[in-house]
Amino acid sequence: MAAEWFYAREEVDIGPVSGGELKRLAASGALLPTDEVWREGLADWVEAGSIKGLFDIDSTPAQPPPPLPILEPATPPAPGRPPLKQRPAGAPGSLPPVLAEVVSPPPLPPPGMGSTSSRNSPRLSALPPSLPQGHGSFDEVTAQVASRLKREARGLGSNLKAAVQLTARQAERTTLANTALPNAFHALGKQCYESGSRRDEWPELHQRVDALEAEIKAIHDEAAAQPQATGFAEKTKVAARAAKDLAQVQSLKSRAKHALTELGKAAFTRHAQQAGPPAVVDPIVQAQTKLAALDAQIAELSQAKPGVIFTPKRLAIGGLAALGMLLLLAMVLGLKR
């Protein structure tokens, strides 16, 4: 019985084929010396170029080439066909990994030659569904990529509009969360402090505000007790002291406002709309309702469709980054002038 051969290229082994058919493949260029071959009796796959007589083609063959001579391997034979060895990237006769897997798939056997068992490459199986796999040609890959780019271009306009809306919603939310809502909590806290209705629940916050208000009053009283300055030097000293007192008072007022904001937030968290009069509670409810609506809109605008590259979120981030670069460039140019 003639030996049956298998040959392989780029992780796909094909066969079985006869020795004569293998030699015809070598003569036609379908089999390269760097491709690997195996037959029963060989312990492992070997390069086709190592088989003597396989590539010694007669220049004018009149008859089919003689059967392929059978060479014994250097190592003892092992039963059964061994697993196909993966050719390292960059080996002679092989294409770069990406081109070898996508652009130049291994050749199919001629009709009636035998079955083909494919060993899927990890990188090939990981390709996105939009790119052709298996035996797609380079033209098919190019057509698929061009089609996808056209779809991206058609959706770019709507995504840009969504990106602008996303940026506006995020800016509105930042203002609401960092300014409007804290001011509403401060108004409720100030009402609770002045009325004393929550002093028993949060005595520490009330005492902190009491101490800060006392310091502010002491600074004002001391400034009022100073005698009238007459000379230029005395007026200069009074002006410097007034500026220092003003900075100190502003710092104390800021700390007092922070404490009142904490008081208002604690009162609303515990008592909700019963925390105070509607005039100071309703703005908190409205701000929180608006925040929830903005969060829902931002989540919807940020949601990316599968396979879309230029999503609204990415466009918004890219726009902000570009704006930041322009501002930085303007500052650098301004400093050079």
240-261: pLDDT as tens digits:
988 998 999 999 999 999 999 9
Nearest 5°: phi and psi at 117? -110, 120
- The one-letter code for the residue type at 233 is A
Residue 77 backbone zone (phi > 0: left; psi -120 to 50: alpha; other: beta) = beta
Which residues of 10-143 form beta strands (DSSP E)? 12-18, 36-39, 46-47, 116-118
Residue 188 vs residues 58, 89, 284, 306: alpha-carbon distances, Å? 101, 70, 9, 46
* Percent of the chain residues past pLDDT 70, beyond the cut: 68
Cα 14 to the center of its chain, rounded Å: 40
d(CA 217, CA 212): 9
Tell me which of 102-111, 239-248, 275-284, 297-306 is least confident: 102-111
Neighbouring CB atoms inside 10 A of 198's CB total: 23
pLDDT in tens, 68-100: 444 344 334 444 556 555 444 444 444 444 333
Cβ atoms of 274 and 197 within 8 Å: the answer is no
pTM of the model: 0.47
User: Could you tell me what percent of the chain has a pLDDT over 90?
Assistant: 28
| pLDDT tens-digit readout, 1-31 | 567 888 887 667 787 888 889 889 888 888 8
Distance CA 248, CA 262 (A): 22
